[in-house]
Amino acid sequence: MRLLPYGEHAVLVELDDVTVVPQVAASLGSLDGVAEAVPGARTVLVRAAAGTEIHRLHPRIRERAARPGEVVGAVHPPRLVEIPVTYDGADLNELAARTGLSPREIVERHCATTYTVAFCGFAPGFAYLSGLDPVLQVPRRAQPRTSVPAGSVAVAGPYSAVYPRSSPGGWHLLGRSGITLFDLHHDPPALLAPPALVRFVPT
């Protein structure tokens, strides 16, 4: 584990085990004096609350980050969110050709795993879901689309994701879901906020 200072009021915690990042973020976010703990792929950015000096939090951050599962009361069991998907995506056949699988096998593999919300970014409610079958891990499209419809279920690199709203995008589209991913009147506003678990269910 490394603590990398990030400006006057924050520190970036780099973890050795990437699989515990969402849990460590949840645990650090509940520490006294922490305003916010934001997970990335292998890091958690901890921002101090007003009136707290970030370096004073370093010892407690180290302690908690070293034992992600052991903080009693800090972490609730992660929610499991099921996302219904119509698998008729524009890139299903291309991905089949590329992986040597049939479209049906791609769908089966995409639905076979339980994903973890690793972190959010790109757009409000856009969650990077880890746990993707290695066979389905392909680089982004060479030519990003200028517009990907809201609800598109996609894969790129080691992640799967669902586009919360229409936006440009370079991921491979497998299907679509009508689920609402971002709701201003919900706390947290992202349906898929770390460390939630996700399963895709074909409709």
Partner 1 sequence: MIEIIAPGPLATVQDGGRPGYAASGVARSGAFDRAALALANRLVGNEAAAAGIEITFGGLAWRVRDAVTVALTGAPCPGLDWARAVSLPAGATVVLGPPTQGLRSYLALRGGLDVEPALGSRSTDTLGGLGPRPLRTGDLLGVAARTAGAPSDAVGAVEVRPRPLRLVPGPRRDWFAPDALRMLHTARWSVAADCDRIGIRLDGPALARARTDELPSEATLPGAVQVPHGGRPIILGPDAPVTGGYPVVAVLCEADLDAAAQLRPGQAVRFDLLR
Q: Which residues bind partner 1 (CB under 8 A)?
A: 4-10, 12, 25, 29, 35-45, 47, 119-128, 165, 182, 184, 188-190, 193-194
Q: Of all helices (H) and strands (E), which one includes residue 153?
A: strand 152-156
Q: How far is the CB of 176 from partner 1 (least distance, A)?
A: 20
In this complex, which beta carbon is closest to partner 1, that of residue 100 or of residue 185? 185
Q: How far is the CB of 38 from partner 1 (least distance, A)?
A: 4
In this complex, which beta carbon is closest to partner 1, that of residue 41 or of residue 74? 41
Distance between CA 116 and CA 119 in Å, rounded? 9
| Cβ neighbours, 10 Å, residue 45 | 17
- 181 CB-contact burial (10 Å; exposed 0-12 / middle 13-18 / buried 19+): buried
The residue among 154, 123, 126 whose CA lies nearest residue 141 is 154
The whole-angstrom distance between residue 31's C-alpha and the CA centroid of its chain comes to 22
How far from 181 is each of 61, 126, 194, CA to CA, in Å? Answer: 31, 8, 13
Q: How far is the CB of 83 from partner 1 (least distance, A)?
A: 17
In this complex, which beta carbon is closest to partner 1, that of residue 29 or of residue 87? 29
In this complex, which beta carbon is closest to partner 1, that of residue 16 or of residue 88? 16
In this complex, which beta carbon is closest to partner 1, that of residue 126 or of residue 171? 126
Q: How far is the CB of 103 from partner 1 (least distance, A)?
A: 29
The residue among 20, 34, 10 whose CA lies nearest residue 195 is 20
Q: How far is the CB of 60 from partner 1 (least distance, A)?
A: 19
